[in-house]
Amino acid sequence: MIMIEKKKIILTGDRPTGRLHIGHYVGSLRRRVELQNDPSFDKIFIMIADAQALTDNADNPEKLRQNVLEVTLDYLAAGLDPGKVNIFIQSAVPELTELAFYFMNLTTVSRVQRNPTVKTEIQMRNFEANIPLGFFCYPVSQAADITLFHGTVVPVGEDQKPMIELTNEIVRRFNSTYGEVLHEAQILLPDNQACMRLPGTDGKAKMSKSLGNCIYLSDPAEVVEKKIKSMYTDPTHLRVTDPGHLEGNAVFTYLDAFCRDEHFAKYWPEYNNLQELKDHYTRGGIGDMKCKMFLCKIMQEMLEPIRERRHYWEQHIPEVYDILRKGTEAARTQGRQTIEEVRAAMRINYLDDKELQKAQMEKYYPTE
């Protein structure tokens, strides 16, 4: 049996179905940028999940063809350093498909049917009775994505929780069936409740590329301002003097996600912190537009350096492809190594198994 030394390895990624938005940023991307400088991590793999995106975009590969680059530009813009992380393309690592195929035998249809994220996504996409089989199986494929790299830490948004749970179930099943080869992974959720599942500008439950309610990391300053000005707040807060409500008020959820005390000192010194502003808003006496303009200043401060870095990389596309090539090569090297370990544990490595061959020879041609 092969035992692999447990290292701290990050695996996470995004579907190339559109540019990345501030929900991605607070849900996972910001954390990756921090962790790339943490020396306790041995390796960081960031996957552009094009094969997963095909599961519900099979008829539109062009969308993915364009967005692999866009997502990579967003990564570099957000501050991911290609010297510290491996950015790679999922479909270019065929070992992922092989591992997913073996994993399919270690879980059940009903287990995937109970997955709450998959349930919501099936509804959102109106699949009803025509769920593509590949889409249905994507949580299993995601388990392969994590384990092929021996990922031990997975920084993601809250919607990914059921996927990590399934991954760990499959890992336990694999290890108890074939031997201790794979490691369980730990989900790393954002530490701020508002960032777990950032709502859309329309106040809907989740900012999502597919729902058109996003502020993109690459939106120009004037677009960001326009989107913030038309954001959903509190429909009962009609006059400035009316008491306002915070629950479901997207502006305040964004403030929870992005605002720090120093922003008040800089942009709105009338208050010391968010709690004071919230208290005043709920008592009544503050207009929504003032809060939106404050939020806008905070967002622009955060987004400006991201836009600048993006602009630089947009002028260096061949280098961006070199980064992808290098990251994918590193991912393949790791993938080939793990799949060999997996095959050996499953005892399906017949061609390399000299002991098996010798025993079989002896069965038919006893040497003594």
Applying CB under 6 A, the residues found at the interface with ligand ATP are: 14-15, 17, 23-24, 27-28, 156-157, 159-160, 197-198, 206-210
Tell the smallest beta-carbon distance from residue 149 to ligand ATP (Å): 16
Nearest residue to ligand ATP on Cβ basis: 27
> What is the side-by-side strand order in the sheet with 86-89?
86-89, 43-48, 9-14, 153-155, 186-188
Element (H, E) at 253: helix 250-258
Looking at the Cβ atoms of 106 and 207, the one nearer to ligand ATP is 207
The closest of 236, 269, 231 to 253, measured between CA atoms, is 231
Provide the minimum distance between the beta carbon of 27 and ligand ATP in the complex, in angstroms, as a whole number. 2
User: Phi, psi (5° rounding) for residue 282?
Assistant: -75, -30
Query: Beta 153-155 vs 86-89: how paired, if at all?
Result: unpaired
Residue whose CB is less far from ligand ATP, 248 or 287: 248
Q: What is the CA radius of gyration of the chain?
A: 24
155 vs 327, beta carbon nearer ligand ATP: 155
Report residue 263 as tokens: 């922003």
Instruction: List the structure tokens of 229.
Output: 């000005």
Report, in Å, the least distance between residue 156 CB and ligand ATP: 3
Rounded-to-integer distance, Cα 118 and Cα 112, Å? 8
Instruction: Give the nearer residue to ligand ATP in terms of CB position, either 14 or 341.
Output: 14
- Taking the least distance from each CB to ligand ATP, the nearer of 145 and 341 is 145
Min dist CB 211 to ligand ATP, Å, is: 7
Q: How far is the CB of 358 from ligand ATP (least distance, A)?
A: 48
Query: What's the CA gap between 185 and 284, in Å, rounded?
Result: 46
